Chains A and B, each alone.
Chain A
Amino acid sequence: MLDVKGIDVSYGKVQALWSVSLHLEKGDFVSLIGSNGAGKTTTVNTLIGLLRSSAGSITFKDERIDNLPPSRIVELGLALVPDVKAVFPQMNVLDNLLVGAQTPRAWNQKDATLDWVFQLFPRLKERKKQMAGTMSGGEQQMLNVGRALMSRPDVLMLDEPSLGLAPKLVASIFDDLERIHKEGVTILLAEQHVFHALKISDKGYVIETGKVVMEGSSQDLLNDKRVKARYLGQ
């Protein structure tokens, strides 16, 4: 469904990704793990079209998307949940969600999607009229995820949904992701909570200083000596 082949990405003269390749099938739950600065955000931002790759190809549903603008990519069914501070603070929860339904396809079925999102996150329904900026970090993260779901994505990408959240909330966000996955959404999760991420995903990629250094089933990675030493402190 989503096929990334050998992409290079640079910020000006500084190259951030070297020949990164990823592959997602329909129904997959894939995690992209690595420490701060490894290139996780760069990867997902490139996939959604906010950054451009200088080499390689990105194919989504048999269509090259590496030269499409974000608006087209979202329309095709890819969505990104950016980092935790990305809600629209001066807008209420409902309006925040509606911004997510911006493609014509999503706008036409926005009422049904709203029901679905409210069913996934009842808390958002309670706070429909509240200004997003006045909600707690955990609630804002729910809103972030809900807003991305409003575009009716086939593949949902999340950029460190656990960032800045208390451990208890981290666990609950990961529970939410599992539920969303069960609803049939393919997920690509960029995370530095390596243990959590590998626990709930089927497949994992380890990224270090801009290169994919390891890939395999999450179970294998959890048992891998290098992963254990580097990320799990064992």
Chain B
Amino acid sequence: MKIQPRKGGLLSSPKLLFLLILLVALAILPLPLSSSSYLIWILIFCIFYAILALSWDLILGYGGQLSFAHTGMLGIGAYSSVFLVNTTGLPPLVGMIVAGLLAAGTGLALGWICLRLRGMYFALATWGFAGVVQLVLVAEYDITGGMKGMATKFLLPTSFQITPVYYYYVGLALLAICVLTTYKLINSNYGLYLIAMGDNEDAVGACGVNVVWLKVSVFGISSFWLGLAGSFYAHLLGYVSPAIADFTTIMVMVIAATIVGGLGTFFGPLLGAFILYPTAEVIRTYGAGIQQIIFVLVILVALKFLRNGIIGLIPSLRRR
């Protein structure tokens, strides 16, 4: 399948304009906040979750495949990058790219193995995968350091450590690349088949679209971003632990952000991440575990009353 753009030029679309405005707004956002590094840190994590949510939306909202492999891919990305950087001394940036490719490879392989499974069974298999990854990270403490994790190099040199603003811009660059390539992908014939697969898998197969390839490749693409994000996270903190692969914190946040923002919409997951992560920060002060309970309730309420998420309230942005 050759990937070709469809429907006019990209710049002709009002959505792309909105997207660029959004990115510029995010770029100047830290300026008034630069005195508070706490707020900048929150924004960095918003960006991290925005990448996660967008890649989840790509699989589920567009492709119709319910996958819980996210945390597993994050774990693989983060740890592989840390291993590479710690053993070879290569710069973390190289680690990030390798982590992305390795996660993509894992995604392709997992997608290939799980091909015959559909719906809930596919979801369970991916969930199992994520669980196994986390177990391995905890149990193989000779290699992974177990629960105490491993220290690693920071992404940026020491002179840039004084303020998190630099990390914010690295994250924003990642988000921009992720968002723009995803946008371009969705607005190609590939995106068309992906949406069609999400709508009716059998019919798209009968049209002669290679469903196998479509499923495997979208899994690989999404995993690439997860590997990259996982590695970014590790070198942002200079430390990695099995918490990166924790389902109850990370996956619940991803699901909530995507569904509250708007599943199957382009801007929904981005918006969701920027609303829900700060909310989680506030809730956290009231005690551990409350966040998950509240988020699960929020997911249920959104599914019942806000089927298209917050973005669904703005008609011109709702359509994918």
Residues A74 and B207 in contact in the complex (CB < 8 Å), given A104-B2, A107-B4: yes
A139-161 Cβ-contact flags toward B at 8 Å (1 or 0): 00000000110010000000000
> How many A-B residue contacts, CB cutoff 8 Å?
75
Taking a contact as CB atoms closer than 8 A, the residue among A89, A90, A103 that contacts B208 in the complex is A103
Could you tell me the distance in whole angstroms from the C-beta of A99 to the nearest C-beta in chain B?
Answer: 5
**Bound-complex Cα distance A102 to B192 (A):** 10
Could you tell me the distance in whole angstroms from the C-beta of A81 to the nearest C-beta in chain B?
Answer: 8
Answer whether residue A80 sits at the interface, using C-beta atoms and an 8 A cutoff: yes
**Bound-complex Cα distance A208 to B196 (A):** 34
Q: How large is the interface on B (under 10, 10 to 19, 20 to 34, 35 or more residues)?
A: 20 to 34
Instruction: Give chain A interface residues in 164-191, CB to chain B under 8 Å.
Output: none
Answer whether residue B182 sits at the interface, using C-beta atoms and an 8 A cutoff: no
Could you tell me the distance in whole angstroms from the C-beta of B52 to the nearest C-beta in chain A?
Answer: 24
Residues A71 and B210 in contact in the complex (CB < 8 Å), given A86-B200, A87-B200: yes
Number of chain A residues whose Cβ lies closer than 8 Å to a Cβ of chain B: 29
Taking a contact as CB atoms closer than 8 A, the residue among B195, B205, B210 that contacts A91 in the complex is B195
Could you tell me the distance in whole angstroms from the C-beta of A92 to the nearest C-beta in chain B?
Answer: 9
Answer whether residue A70 sits at the interface, using C-beta atoms and an 8 A cutoff: yes
Q: A107 contacts which chain B residues (CB < 8 A)?
A: 2, 4, 189
**Bound-complex Cα distance A104 to B189 (A):** 11
**Bound-complex Cα distance A102 to B210 (A):** 9
Residues A69 and B212 in contact in the complex (CB < 8 Å), given A89-B199, A95-B192, A99-B193: yes
Q: B203 contacts which chain A residues (CB < 8 A)?
A: 82, 86-88
Instruction: Give chain B interface residues in 180-202, CB to chain A under 8 Å.
Output: 189, 192-193, 195-196, 198-200, 202
Answer whether residue B206 sits at the interface, using C-beta atoms and an 8 A cutoff: yes
**Bound-complex Cα distance A34 to B200 (A):** 27
The answer to whether B1 touches A102, judged by C-beta atoms less than 8 angstroms apart, is: yes
**Bound-complex Cα distance A74 to B205 (A):** 10
**Bound-complex Cα distance A177 to B207 (A):** 19
Answer whether residue A79 sits at the interface, using C-beta atoms and an 8 A cutoff: yes
Residues A151 and B207 in contact in the complex (CB < 8 Å), given A87-B200, A88-B200, A91-B199: yes
A104-136 Cβ-contact flags toward B at 8 Å (1 or 0): 100100000000000000000000000000000
Query: What residue in chain B is nearest A81 (Cβ atoms)?
Result: B206
The answer to whether B189 touches A71, judged by C-beta atoms less than 8 angstroms apart, is: no
The answer to whether B189 touches A98, judged by C-beta atoms less than 8 angstroms apart, is: yes
Q: B205 contacts which chain A residues (CB < 8 A)?
A: 50, 70
Taking a contact as CB atoms closer than 8 A, the residue among B1, B2, B195 that contacts A95 in the complex is B195
Answer whether residue B204 sits at the interface, using C-beta atoms and an 8 A cutoff: yes
Q: B125 contacts which chain A residues (CB < 8 A)?
A: none
Q: A80 contacts which chain B residues (CB < 8 A)?
A: 206
Answer whether residue A48 sits at the interface, using C-beta atoms and an 8 A cutoff: yes
Q: List 10 A-B contacts (CB under 8 A).
A: A48-B208, A70-B208, A70-B210, A82-B206, A90-B198, A90-B199, A91-B195, A95-B195, A99-B204, A102-B1
The 9 residue pairs across chains A and B that have the minimum distance between CB atoms: A74-B208, A88-B199, A86-B203, A71-B210, A99-B196, A82-B206, A88-B196, A71-B208, A80-B206
Q: B-side interface residues toward A, CB under 8 Å?
A: 1-2, 4, 6, 189, 192-193, 195-196, 198-200, 202-210, 212, 264
